[in-house]
Chains A and B, each alone.
Chain A
């Protein structure tokens, strides 16, 4: 199933999503890496995040006159944000987290509680991501955090493809897959071991 989520995203729309769905995002996408999470949990968010999407990303940007331009904006590894994500979700209620590599059990629980999903964007596809960013609406914490760690508010149009990898029903593609990979590995190990007998 393929659909476009438009921010502010209603809770019901997110709860209807299932692991494996492909979605695109239009509206406001807000970047946050390690430091941005920490800062927002300590001092509050610079804008209301309910219904918006959070992006684990440190973009490459350049300034043309007064306007910021995004050159490349691929996702960073989400696992580092596991420290903050559960509390962050409960407090600010974004409906989508965009990143790569997946997140852990605490986030999975908070997603179900709050009504949000974790969506995977292709690692390395920084140009494709930048192409969907129409405009930088605002940036917060640029002085203190620097370009990669600042909180960038992007206006995006059909940002994606995003694969729903953790849904609001406690399912995680990563968890399902690692069980499957472990089963496959048993057969693979046997194949390697079998050769020694020959």
Chain B
């Protein structure tokens, strides 16, 4: 399998099959809900089954293809990988098919293949080793519209961070298609806080941050947001978020940035690993 094929396969997998642990979380939510909330989760679970069976996209908004790449500094095929990414996006757009979602902000023109200026968005993170790990995160517009950056005064402390996240997610109500997954990035600068929020979305559901204080904050935020009663699709219920993931970076003494990345229930995600011998595995 070539790089283009492997990456296109990952895009197809992400668009059509929901990761197993997300389905498990949705099933658990279904079991504890009643009334309109339960009806929503039933419809979601049925939709997930049908999409998987028919290998068709889960949602008509197949999102913007976004890539997060951790590459070993000794990986010998970087140039080839660099060229393969937009090609894989074009191929998946044709073959799955994905909805063409890239629009020129001035002319309104859509190239029709999900590529364009700065798109697909790719984050390259170098590290030791000779292999590559690529995370694909096609993110829908409805939930992305509910993502936000809050530049807090450091004096408000962790309490202020909690308040900002809870108020923001609850105010979004049904708009991001809850139950959502929320990635929170604390610290760094404005751009880094949002990037960390998105990176937090890549962590599988049910996996806590390794540091106990951060893990405790994740749990508390989940509990607080779910106490709001917004519920699935904003129709009321116990499950507004399936998970909250937090990542952090050191901050400037004068700044406390909080990036909030909101992801809809259709948390589409896939991973490609490429070895130095060009071996490729696609997983979720």
A and B co-occur in one complex: yes
Question: If the complex has contacts A71-B56, A124-B59, A163-B235, are A173 and B173 also in contact, measured as CB distance less than 8 A?
Answer: no
Which of chain A's residues has its CB closest to B175's CB? A101
Chain B, 56-72, contact with A by CB distance < 8 Å: what is the 0/1 string? Answer: 11111100000000000
Is A163 within 8 A of B227, CB to CB? Answer: no
Is A188 within 8 A of B159, CB to CB? Answer: no
Question: If the complex has contacts A72-B60, A74-B60, A123-B142, are A128 and B159 also in contact, measured as CB distance less than 8 A?
Answer: no
Is B56 within 8 A of A192, CB to CB? Answer: no
Question: If the complex has contacts A59-B60, A161-B43, are A20 and B35 also in contact, measured as CB distance less than 8 A?
Answer: yes
List chain A residues, Cβ under 8 A from B236. Answer: 173, 177, 180
List chain B residues, Cβ under 8 A from A27. Answer: none
Q: What is the total number of residues of chain A having a CB less than 8 Å from a CB of chain B?
A: 42
Query: Counting CB contacts under 8 A, is A165 at the interface?
Result: yes
Is B46 within 8 A of A128, CB to CB? Answer: yes
Is A187 within 8 A of B227, CB to CB? Answer: yes
Q: Give the interface size class of chain B.
A: 35 or more
State the CA gap A60–B96 with chains docked (Å).
12
Is A122 within 8 A of B43, CB to CB? Answer: yes
Is B177 within 8 A of A185, CB to CB? Answer: no
Is A123 within 8 A of B177, CB to CB? Answer: yes
Looking at B47-55, B73-81, B186-194, the stretch in contact with chain A turns out to be B47-55
Is A126 within 8 A of B58, CB to CB? Answer: yes
Is A101 within 8 A of B234, CB to CB? Answer: yes
State the CA gap A83–B59 with chains docked (Å).
26
Question: If the complex has contacts A100-B233, A181-B170, A189-B163, are A128 and B35 also in contact, measured as CB distance less than 8 A?
Answer: no
Query: Counting CB contacts under 8 A, is B202 at the interface?
Result: no
Chain A, 36-75, contact with B by CB distance < 8 Å: what is the 0/1 string? Answer: 0000000000000000000000111000000000011110
Could you pull out 10 A-B pairs where Cβ atoms are within 8 angstroms?
A22-B36, A59-B60, A72-B59, A77-B175, A101-B234, A124-B58, A125-B44, A128-B46, A161-B39, A196-B157
Given contacts A74-B59, A161-B42, 18 further A-B contacts (CB under 8 A): A20-B35, A72-B56, A72-B60, A77-B142, A122-B40, A122-B43, A122-B44, A123-B174, A124-B177, A125-B46, A125-B47, A127-B54, A177-B235, A181-B170, A181-B228, A181-B229, A184-B227, A188-B166
- Going nearest first, the 6 A-B pairs with the smallest beta carbon separation are A72-B60, A125-B47, A122-B43, A123-B177, A128-B47, A126-B60
